[in-house]
Amino acid sequence: MSIRLELVNWPEKSPLQRFTPEKWSRQQPTYRDADPGLIAAALRWSQQRPSGNWYVVAASDAIGRGRPYGAKVAGREIVLWRDEAGTLHAGPGACPHLGAPLATAQVENNALICRWHGMRVGPEDNASRWCPYPSHDDGVLAWVRVDSAGAETPTDAPILGERPADTTVHAVTRLIGVCEPRDIIANRLDPWHGSWFHPYSFARLEVTRTPPKADITEENHRFELDVTFRVTRSLGVPVRAEFSCPDPRTIVMRIVEGEGAGSVVETHATPLGPGPDGRARTAVVETTIATSARPGFRHARRALPLVRPMMNRAATRLWRDDLAYAERRYLLRTHQS
């Protein structure tokens, strides 16, 4: 029976469905379908998408009032902070006087005061000494636009994929890998590894639609799959999900049918620049934004402090494995082994 048919028979109250667990090695192998040429074509297409030079830095709520946040984007040191009204600002992370880290500066009104000699820099600066970067807070994530790194046509705001109308129930995980953003995206453009590589999270995975190998377009670029999110060995939540790439460094999994339809997992890959060993470092910022038509879902909002660490834990486990996949891919294609 297909998962689609089973959805129709779901009891109203329980999203969980019992299934007969298969021995890991007895699953249908997926390597025949996971065509390296198709994954490469989908990746090439994703890498040609415009980004407007926007980069995700961190969870929006990681940048609080009163304390600057230091980060790196494409080898550039940057600083983000909020003014008293909560508006996000960003700029180069080194003080234009003698290079002190502005991540340690003091915030006053909407400006930063350098700890070393008191120079004041802020959003009104546009002199050649220190020029602020455009920043964007989408309510879940903080973004910065670095035109010198992206070198594309800048846009006023980041290019976002579809999200639930209410983004209150969300969690953000941030990890750093030894790879480039494209390795993170390539991992996600291989949906066939799901129930083999992450058997603790996925079962009964079937890819139901792929992009074509040639002439990929906005309309046909999505992958679609049926999968059961595993809760216990033999209980899970079956859904239909799709993967799409709104920009070259983002891949979005959206539940299109089943429990939590409309919920998304956005995976953003931000290049940090080379690490001390000369190899590329990439920050993976992944956010799960949950929604549900179920009346009980409003309780999830009240239980947010409890739900968030649980959502983070699940995502972190998956990402440790997916990061190993992406790092391995980077190693192989850069011949560093």
Footprint on this chain of Fe ion (rule: CB under 5 A): 322
Question: Distance between CA atoms of 25 and 22, rounded to whole angstroms?
Answer: 8
For residue 255, what are the CA distances in angstroms to 167, 241, 261? Answer: 15, 4, 5
Decide if residue 119 touches ligand FES (CB under 6 A): yes
Least distance between ligand FES and beta carbon 62 (Å): 24
Least distance between Fe ion and beta carbon 195 (Å): 10
Decide if residue 303 touches ligand FES (CB under 6 A): no
Cβ neighbours of 20 (radius 10 Å): 7
Decide if residue 332 touches ligand FES (CB under 6 A): no
Select from 49, 72, 97, 328 the one that contacts ligand FES (CB under 6 A): 97
Select from 116, 220, 317, 333 the one that contacts ligand FES (CB under 6 A): 116
Select from 117, 209, 299, 333 the one that contacts ligand FES (CB under 6 A): 117
Choose the contact partner of 95 out of Fe ion, ligand FES, none; CB within 5 to 8 A by kind.
ligand FES
Least distance between Fe ion and beta carbon 170 (Å): 20
Structure tokens at 60: 């929006």
Least distance between ligand FES and beta carbon 97 (Å): 3
Least distance between ligand FES and beta carbon 103 (Å): 12
The number of angstroms, rounded, from the C-alpha of 306 to the middle of its chain's C-alpha atoms is 22
Decide if residue 40 touches ligand FES (CB under 6 A): no
Choose the contact partner of 36 out of ligand FES, Fe ion, none; CB within 5 to 8 A by kind.
none
Least distance between ligand FES and beta carbon 104 (Å): 10
Least distance between ligand FES and beta carbon 87 (Å): 23
Which C-beta is closer to Fe ion: that of 180 or that of 322? 322
Select from 114, 142, 239, 252 the one that contacts ligand FES (CB under 6 A): 114
Decide if residue 112 touches ligand FES (CB under 6 A): no
Decide if residue 95 touches ligand FES (CB under 6 A): yes
Decide if residue 100 touches ligand FES (CB under 6 A): yes
Residue 169 sits at the vertex; the CA angle it makes with 233 and 200, to the nearest 5 degrees, is 15
Q: How many residues bind ligand FES (CB under 6 A)?
A: 9
Choose the contact partner of 97 out of Fe ion, ligand FES, none; CB within 5 to 8 A by kind.
ligand FES
Q: What is the 3-state secondary structure (H, E, C) of the chain?
A: CCHHHHHHCCCCCCCCEECCCCCHHHCCCCCCCCCHHHHHHHHHHHHCCCCCCEEEEEEHHHCCECCCEEEEECCEEEEEEECCCCCEEEEECECCCCCCEHHHCEEECCEEECCCCCCEECCCCCCCCCCCECEEECCCEEEEECHHHHCCCCCCCCCCCCCCCCCCCEEEEEEEECCCHHHHHHHHCCHHHHHHHCCCCEEEEEEEECCCCCCCCCCCCCEEEEEEEECCCCEEEEEEEEEEEEECCEEEEEEEEECCCCCEEEEEEEEEEECCCCCEEEEEEEEEECCCCCCCHHHHHHCHHHHHHHHHHHHHHHHHHHHHHHHHHHHHHCCCC
Which C-beta is closer to Fe ion: that of 150 or that of 194? 194
* Cross-strand bridge partners of residue 223: 243
Which C-beta is closer to Fe ion: that of 322 or that of 327? 322
Structure tokens at 284: 């993976």
Least distance between ligand FES and beta carbon 106 (Å): 11
Choose the contact partner of 266 out of Fe ion, ligand FES, none; CB within 5 to 8 A by kind.
none
Residues 214-243 that bind ligand FES (CB under 6 A): none
Q: Which residues bind ligand FES (CB under 6 A)?
A: 95, 97-98, 100, 114, 116-119
